[in-house]
Amino acid sequence: MLRQICRRGRLMAFMCDSSSTAASTAVSSIANAIQTLIQNVLPPKSMDDSNSILPLEVYDEIRSILNVELPSMQFRHFKDFPHPDSAHVLPRQATSIQHIKIKGRDYSTFKQHQGNSSIGYYSSASGEIEISAGFIDTIWSQTLDGVAQTFLVVFRHQFLSSEDNQRSPYQGRNGFQVEIAYTNSSSVHQVVIRPNQVIGHMAYYERPPGTFGIRRGITILINSLHRNRE
């Protein structure tokens, strides 16, 4: 559908360049209407719907990931109108998934199952040593050029500051494989990752302010459920 809209847009641009003033005004009005249609095409549905529209911030992150992974393809933003005939335009429509299997294990969105949404993951797809943690908020799937692409939107935990980390009894005791994060801080730290970045589930429990002398509420994260298996 977007390709057809783009073709109409190019035709209208050609007509604007070669027609009279009155006709140009009429065509311009139609072009503006089409541009409005593009920006509002397929209005957002409930997250419970299987087919939904990607939030713009998620769409932009997915597009950035794909353009790094597939430099020869280079997906264009759907708003970069008009598009060349040979352009790869990343659609904004995607399929919302509530459950997924990764390395034979079940994972879910936070709304479906909080425990199954708690994960540890590598902060980049190349398998960097740095490990982050968070809750899976949404899971999206798109089929691009016949290949299924899956993305996880994760609300990342904010680990303790260096000052508070000194109060942690797990500091320097790496054998416990425990990390501590601030509770209710993940909603402002959203990232998009690939399934192959997921290390495994993280067990967790929340503790009130004052625990270990830390003023804010904290969440204890146990990063041993995967038993160091890849």
pLDDT tens-digit series, residues 54-87: 999 999 999 999 999 988 888 989 988 888 888 8
**Domain range for residue 66?**
2-93
Is the model more confident about 84 or about 158? 158
Q: Are 127 and 215 within one domain?
A: yes
Mean pLDDT of the chain: 81
Do the Cβ atoms of 134 and 182 come closer than 8 Å?
no
Q: What is the pLDDT of residues 8-25, one digit of tens each?
A: 667 666 665 655 555 555
Band of residue 4 on the pLDDT scale cut at 50, 70, 90: low
Residue 185, φ and ψ in degrees, nearest 5 = -115, -5
Q: Are 111 and 216 within one domain?
A: yes
State how far the alpha carbon of 204 is from the alpha carbons of 30, 108, 213, in Å: 55, 16, 19
Instruction: List the beta bridge partners of residue 134.
Output: 119, 156
pTM of the model: 0.72
Band of residue 46 on the pLDDT scale cut at 50, 70, 90: very low
Final residue before a domain boundary, out of 93, 109, 135? 93
| Overall average pLDDT of the 169-195 stretch | 83
Domain tally, the chain: 2
Q: Are 54 and 118 within one domain?
A: no
| Overall average pLDDT of the 33-51 stretch | 48
The amino acid occupying position 51 is: N
220, pLDDT greater than 90: yes
Final residue before a domain boundary, out of 63, 93, 123? 93
Is the model more confident about 139 or about 225? 139
Q: How many Å apart are CA 27 and CA 16, to the nearest integer?
A: 7
Q: Are 160 and 185 within one domain?
A: yes
51, pLDDT greater than 70: no
Q: Is residue 228 part of a domain?
A: no
Q: Are 185 and 118 within one domain?
A: yes
Task: Determine the pLDDT at residue 194.
Answer: 95
Q: Are 83 and 100 within one domain?
A: no
Band of residue 101 on the pLDDT scale cut at 50, 70, 90: very high
| Percent of the chain residues past pLDDT 70, beyond the cut | 71
Do the Cβ atoms of 169 and 212 come closer than 8 Å?
yes
Q: Are 100 and 214 within one domain?
A: yes
Q: Are 186 and 136 within one domain?
A: yes
Final residue before a domain boundary, out of 50, 73, 93? 93
| CATH of residue 186 | 2.30.30
Band of residue 125 on the pLDDT scale cut at 50, 70, 90: low
| Percent of the chain residues past pLDDT 90, beyond the cut | 49
